[in-house]
Each structure stands twice: as C-alpha cells, then as structure tokens.
Amino acid sequence: MDDAYFFDTYAIIEIIKGNEAYQKYRDASIVLTLFNIAELHYALLREFSPQIAEALTEQYAQFVIEVDVDTIKDANKFKLKNKEKKYSIADCIGYTTAKRLGLKFLTGDQGFKELSEVEFVK
C-alpha cells in the first residue's frame, strides 16, 4: 500500500470540488470507514443534490474497510484526550485506523495538522 492513504471526509470533498492541491491524490489507493461514508453522504446532500450524493456515496463505498471494537475504543480515548479540538468521531476513528494500518491520514482539518502520520493539505 505504498500510495495508499486514509482519506478523511474533507479530503474526499476537496477532490470532488476539484481542489488543485488534492490532484496528486486522485490516483492514490483510498481507505475509508463506514463513518466517513456517513459524513460524506450528508455533506453531498447538503452541498449538492440527492442524485449526486447517491452516486458518489456508492462510488466511494467500495473503499470502506471494517473497523474493530478495539479501534473504536482507541479512537474514543483519542477523542477524549483531545476534547478541546472537537474532532468528529469519524475523524478520530479514521486517524486511529490510519495509524494502525501504517497509512498517512490525508486531511485539511487544521486540528490534525501537527499530529504524526498526517498528510495535511489545504
């Protein structure tokens, strides 16, 4: 998985919007969880249309991996430890999953900028 990244929802939305800063990640291997799909679908409904939300959610669903209970527990510990940053649970699970898999967490979320194993792109 050399060119694989864990894409947070922000990264996916930026690719969909055509953000040039994310162009180099268009051909990367994508890893997501079902939590990201939930956030993505909602964001697409809010920003685009039900038809686009349906189509793109189905497109990105193929990259979903399962998350075990230990990952969720670790993600919740991370969220509690960093509660002042108000991370979403999806982002905490994503970041924890990325670390467990040895992947970079691709995001534009300022709160993750200084953390290890993060590829911050705005």
Q: What is the pLDDT along the chain (122 residues), one digit of tens a residue?
A: 468 999 999 999 999 999 999 999 999 999 999 999 999 999 999 999 999 999 999 999 999 999 999 999 999 999 999 999 999 999 999 999 999 999 999 999 999 999 999 999 99
Query: What phi and psi values does residue 48 have, to the nearest 5 degrees?
Result: -125, -110
Instruction: Tell whether pTM > 0.85.
Output: yes
Q: How far is the CA of 21 from the CAs of 24, 34, 111, 120, in angstroms?
A: 7, 25, 18, 10
Residue 1, pLDDT score: 45
Q: What is the pLDDT of residue 56?
A: 98
Q: Give the pLDDT confidence score for residue 29 in this predicted structure.
A: 97
| Domain residue spans of the chain | 4-120
CATH code at 4-120: 3.40.50.1010
Q: Supply the pLDDT for residue 2.
A: 61
Cβ neighbourhood burial of 50 (10 Å; 0-12, 13-18, 19+):
exposed
